Copies of this chain bind each other. A is one copy, B any other.
Amino acid sequence: MTGFEPRNPDYAAQVSGGFERHSFMALLGVELVRVEPGFCELHLPWRKYLLQQHGYFHGGAIAGLLDSAAGFAAYSLMPADANILTVEYKLNFVAPGTGSRMVARGEVLKPGRTLTVVRADAFAIVEGEEKLCCASQQTLMMLADRHDQKDGEVRAPARAG
């Protein structure tokens, strides 16, 4: 329980609908495990295509997982007609990405009218134990007047700034 009040009562459906439209999540094999107001947990099971030269999860795969965990945590607090962009993030890799799966949890630190700040951490599951692998801080921006892309819709580029 995060203590945040969602502005959209259907926040969980909003998040899972957004998740489905991220084809990159399907490419990595990410699973949406839990959504609460201001919180999102994603899992990334080990696959041999997610690795770097030492045989660990590649930093970019972990970054993609944390990017989305933070984005959906923030998105869960947005009104139904809003949309969201990632402004920036910062990752500290504190241990190699070992283990059978990577678990990422994003939690809103400060929701804002325009900007929302989220902390999202990734944990390696090694012999059933969670081990902190990567810690992040992220900033997301609400776009009040945009909608998700529908299939086949051509969109003009939006500006992040």
Contact = CB atoms under 8 A, between A and B. Distances in A.
Contacts of A58: 22-25, 64, 67-68
A94 B53 contact: no
Contacts of A65: 60
Nearest to A151: B55
Interface in A11-67: 18, 21-28, 48-56, 58-61, 63-65, 67
Interface string A54-86: 111011110111011001000000000001011
- Sort chain A's interface into a size bin: 35 or more
A132 B110 contact: yes
Given A24-B60, A148-B53, A161 B110 contact: yes
A109 to B, nearest CB: 6
Interface in A75-126: 83, 85-96, 98, 109-117, 119, 126
Contacts of A23: 48-51, 58
Given A88-B90, A117-B135, A126-B157, 8 more contacts: A23-B48, A85-B93, A88-B139, A90-B137, A94-B161, A114-B141, A135-B137, A139-B139
Interface of A: 18, 21-28, 48-56, 58-61, 63-65, 67-68, 71, 83, 85-96, 98, 109-117, 119, 126, 132, 135-137, 139, 141, 146, 148-149, 153, 155, 157-161
